Amino acid sequence: MLISRRNLGIGLGAVAAGYALWPRRARWEQDVPAGRVALRYWEKWTGEEGAAMQRVVDRFNASQDRIFVVRLPVAETYSKAMVAIGGGDPPDLVGLFSWNVPYFAQSGALLPLDGLDQAAYPRAIWELLCHEGRAWVGVNTCYSLALYSNRAHLAEVGADPERPPRTLTELDAVAERLVRRDARGRLERAGFLQAVPNWWPYLWPLATGGRLFDDATHRVTCDTDACVAAYEWVSATAQRHGRLDSQGFARGFDRSNLSAADPFLSGQVSMIVQGPWMANVARSKAPDVDYVVSPMPVAESVYDPERPQGLLEADVIGIPRGCPHPEEALEFLAFTQRPDVQAQLCSDHCKPSPLVERPADFEANHPNPYVDVHERIVRSPAAAVLPRHRAWKSYSDLLVPAFERIWTGADPRTELAGVAARAQGLVDRSDAAHRAREARG
């Protein structure tokens, strides 16, 4: 008897449903050896930095036979992790930025790490791992920002290549001599521009002793005199270089930073504030560039050679709430906090160590010839961190257009007052909601 059309349809439907529902391993865990607990680890790093983290993962996987970590590179990890956690399907481990910690911790998106040993971390690093007195993440390399100067360029204008500028006055004086213009009068080379790279428009108040936020009172302080003075210095730099010309010059590097066409490595900007990864890029993309690294120049009133100023931030690793294997995830996280593991990873990233204890030969064998400068900033009592508040991202996104408007001639005090008013509202609303939730229990 021929099969009826109806029965054929039912049969095909059953086969399709069976295929769809048949249990099988997800693609990410297909290489996991049998019998091991597979952990999903979302990390933002790709390229050389991703490969370095993979070496840490491989070392852990080889060190025991119970757990197998699979590193998955994920762009914009923090927003995707929040959606995954909210949706009930989080990874076992997630790599974040330290400025994400207040938001994730306050939302209850991470498991607390009460077992972390505070004594293992320098003061400023410990601050980055904590929120409201409790540790929520482990550290996974850190960075401090410093001034990278092209030695040949400094020598060319009669400045001492062994003594890069230390104060804003010295910086401005040398930068002015380094400027080169083409026949049309357009910038061909700049000495120093705060807009190159345009990654941290919120950094400059550090140079004048200003702070963007008062952690104790939760007051936005970007409109204080010290902060206004910093942005007046920014505005004066733009004015000297030609506001629109220098803006266009700076934006031309938006997509070439940290490539072979990087403004500093290609010699188009002689001095630049950057992180330690610059050494990594320099050795692979422009090994012939001869540079020197020093702490960020600051105003004379702030300068103290024993207390170098600089922004300190860290990459961190946390365990999302609701993850499938929290105990195994904690085991991997503890492994990453070992001094020898961090030393290996930081060395591969050209970064300073985020731990108090380092292998004796850490600096001697480090591929970054100026890691000591970054280390000094990490351990400096004057090292500054970004505001520890969940509203920071929205606050910083207000500072970006304000910085751009100041660059093109807007009054710094007016711009910063506008940012402060809006950002304070965001902070207050966030705090009020937090208090209301706590009151509800």
Partner 1 sequence: MSARGELRTGLVWTAPFWIGFALFTAVPVALSIRYGFTQYDLIEDPLPVGGANYAEIAHDPVFWTALRNTGIFAACSVTLNTVVALALALLLEQKLRGRELVRALVFAPTLVPISAVAVGWLWLLKRDDGLVNTALGALGVAGPDWLGDADWALATLVLMSGWIVGAQVMVFTAALRDVPKSLLEAAAVDGATAWSRLWRITLPTISPAVAFNVIVSAIWALQVFALPLIMTRGGPQNSTLVLSMYVYQNAFQYGRMGYASALAWIQFALTCALTIAAVRFARRRVHTRVGAAG
- φ and ψ of 125, to 5 deg: -70, -40
Q: Does 109 bind partner 1 (CB under 8 A)?
A: yes
CA distance 89 to 66: 22
Does 13 help bind partner 1 (rule: CB under 8 A)?
no
CA distances from 69 to 50, 56, 423 (A): 14, 10, 40
Please say which residue, 11 or 401, places its beta carbon nearer to partner 1.
401
The span from the CA of 218 to the CA of 90, in Å, is 31
Closest approach, Cβ 394 to partner 1, in A, equals 4
Residue 79 binds partner 1 (CB under 8 A): yes
Residue 408 touching partner 1 (CB under 8 A) = yes
Task: Please report the DSSP string for 124-153 in residue order.
Answer: HHHHHHEETTEE--EEEEEEE-EEEEEHHH
Q: Is 107 in the site for partner 1 (CB under 8 A)?
A: yes
Find the binder of partner 1 among 36, 59, 393, 413 (CB under 8 A). 393
Quick check: 397 binds partner 1 (CB under 8 A)? Answer: yes
Which residue in 11, 50, 401, 409 binds partner 1 (CB under 8 A)?
401
CB 370 within 8 A of CB 293: yes
C-alpha of 255 from chain center: 18
CB 249 within 8 A of CB 273: no
Sites for partner 1 among residues 165-204 (CB under 8 A) = 186
CB–CB of 146/295 below 8 Å? yes
Judged by CB under 8 A, which stretch of 16-24, 57-65, 75-83, 139-147 contacts partner 1? 75-83
Q: What track of x and - describes contact with partner 1 for positions 337 through 376 (by CB under 8 A)? A: ----------------------------------------
Tell which positions 134-163 bind partner 1, by CB under 8 A.
none
Nearest-approach distance from CB 90 to partner 1, in angstroms: 10
SS3 310: strand
Which of these, 314, 333, 313, lies nearest to 110 by C-alpha position? 333
**Per rule CB under 8 A, is residue 433 in the interface with partner 1?**
yes
Q: How far apart, in whole angstroms, are the C-alpha atoms of residue 178 and residue 197?
A: 18
Measure the CA–CA gap between 28 and 38, rounded to whole angstroms: 9
Give 303 or 403: the residue with its C-beta nearer to partner 1. Answer: 403
Q: Which is nearer to partner 1, 185 or 287 (CB)?
A: 185
What is the rounded distance in angstroms from the CA atom of residue 167 to the CA atom of residue 146? Answer: 13
**Closest to partner 1 by CB, 333 or 398:** 398
| Closest to partner 1 by CB, 285 or 434 | 434
Binding-site size, partner 1 (CB under 8 A):
36
Q: With respect to partner 1, which residue has the nearer C-beta, 6 or 66? A: 6
Asked if 8 touches partner 1 (CB under 8 A), the answer is no
> How far is 142 from 200, CA to CA, in rounded Å?
16
DSSP 207: G
Q: Which of 24, 255, 361, 364 binds partner 1 (CB under 8 A)?
A: 255
Q: Does 418 bind partner 1 (CB under 8 A)?
A: yes
354 secondary structure, DSSP code: S
Relative orientation angle of helices 47-63 and 339-349, to the nearest 10 degrees: 160
* Per CB under 8 A, 417 contacts partner 1: no
Give the shortest CB-8-to-partner 1 separation in angstroms.
17
Residue 317 belongs to what H/E stretch? Answer: strand 310-318
CB atoms within 10 A of CB 217: 8
15 binds partner 1 (CB under 8 A): no
Q: What is the token pair recorded at 305?
A: 């050679």
CB of residue 315 vs partner 1: minimum separation in angstroms? 18
* Site membership for partner 1, residue 243 (CB under 8 A): no
Please give the Cα distance from 337 to 340 (Å, whole number): 9
Name the site residues for partner 1 (rule: CB under 8 A): 79, 82-83, 85-86, 103, 107-109, 186, 244, 247-248, 251-252, 255, 321, 390-391, 393-394, 397-398, 400-401, 404-405, 408, 418, 422, 425, 429, 433, 436-437, 440
